[in-house]
Structure 1
Amino acid sequence: MFSQNDDKPKFWDNVQFGGGLGLNFSNNYTTLSISPSAIYNFNQYVAAGPGLSYLYSKYRDVKSNVYGAGLITLINPIPNLQFSVEYEHLFVTQKIAFDKTNFDYPSLYLGGAYRMGNFSAGLRFDVLYDSDKTIYSSAVSPIFRFYF
């Protein structure tokens, strides 16, 4: 008969759910985003998992709806420092005045954040950034993540 070892962690014991939220308001510019994700903690230093994203952006007469999916890897070399590598592929529906276009583009973010428990805040940089093929005004964006 097989013995059952209750001390061995089960798969779901190492899974955390969370993601990020984004809000940006300024003169004639609004951005709202949500990016839920799940990560699997391989150990106390490395976690990885899939994510989804949605972003709404409005700048003057330009409105964008962006949907995407991606993969994230989090590296925690010390308790309060978190590095991240994120690949995202985004699909955009953009309306400029009366003209509507659809396009897609990939993003590869390298980031660094201050980590405090389940919360991280920092910056990330899109190494594939191309100002002609994106809705973002910069390759740099903030990081705000929560995992529970």
Structure 2
Amino acid sequence: MQKNGIKTLTKLLLLIILFGFPFVISAQEKTMPKAKTGAFWEHVQFGGGLGLSISNDYTDITIAPSAIYNFNEHFAFGTSLQYSKLKQKNYYSSNVYGGSLIGLFSPMEEIQLSVELEEVNVNNQYTDMGGTLKRSFWNTGLYLGGGYRQDNVTIGGRINVLFDKDKEIYGSAFMPFVRVFF
């Protein structure tokens, strides 16, 4: 039941993106004013995410700065960097680093749809009585998302359409998010 719901939601988001972005692109040609000297930085916003989870034997720290360029009130494109350190005492540690490209589309002020391509390098180390096992690999994610936006904050969820539970670094294809840009 849950897999069918994820597949249906993924198809719906893909249709919205495929049919929605061409209209945004053609609208840009009509609404964007001619560039002025120094106007580039007036359209740039910075933001990102910070994550921290600590317990007696567990630590998870994430830093993910990002920047977007607003082409108009409906469409933005940007990039993000990411670093995560996860450690479970005497058992597991992981370093994840990489970056992503993100496209944002707001059909109305309160709604934000997103497409994000993420490429990260994963370095895992497992320790048990038998010794230590190290595994390093690159992981690609393609996320389709949507959320409710209020001013500079968007709360929503995204689905990795390339998710493979046997090769993935995340436990699920679905990820909730809070996105903030200033």
Give the TM-score of the pair, scaled to structure 1. 0.86
2:149 is the counterpart of 1:125: no
Say if 1:27 and 1:128 are closer, same or farther in 2 by CA, change over 3 A. Answer: farther
Which moves more between the two structures, 73-82 or 49-58?
A: 49-58
Q: Tell me what 2:115 maps to.
A: 85
2:39 is the counterpart of 1:10: yes
For residues 109-132 of structure 1, give each alpha carbon's deviation from its aligned partner in whole angstroms, at most 9, with x where no partner exists. 011111111111111100001111
Matches within 5 A, 1:111-122: 111-122=145-156
Q: Shift in Å at residue 62 of structure 1?
A: 2.1
- What is the alpha-carbon root mean square deviation over aligned residues? 2.4
Q: Shift in Å at residue 30 of structure 1?
A: 5.0
Higher share in helix: 2
Give the TM-score of the pair, scaled to structure 2. 0.71
Max Rg structure: 2
Q: Tell me what 2:81 maps to.
A: 52
Higher share in strand: 1
2:110 is the counterpart of 1:76: no
Q: Distance in 2 between matches of 1:78 and 1:6?
A: 24
**Structure 2 residue matching 1:132: 3-state secondary structure:** coil
- Share of identical aligned residues, percent? 47
Q: Shift in Å at residue 135 of structure 1?
A: 1.6
Q: Unaligned 5+ residue runs, structure 2?
A: 1-33
Q: Tell me what 2:14 maps to.
A: none
Say if 1:146 and 1:64 are closer, same or farther in 2 by CA, change over 3 A. Answer: same
Q: Tell me what 1:144 maps to.
A: 178
Say if 1:10 and 1:85 are closer, same or farther in 2 by CA, change over 3 A. Answer: same
User: How many residues are treated as equivalent by the alignment?
Assistant: 144
Q: Shift in Å at residue 8 of structure 1?
A: 7.7
**Structure 1 residue matching 2:96: 3-state secondary structure:** strand
For residues 74-120 of structure 1, give each alpha carbon's deviation from its aligned partner in whole angstroms, at most 9, with x where no partner exists. 11111111111000101011010122221111000011111111111
Q: Unaligned 5+ residue runs, structure 1?
A: none
**Structure 2 residue matching 1:125: 3-state secondary structure:** strand
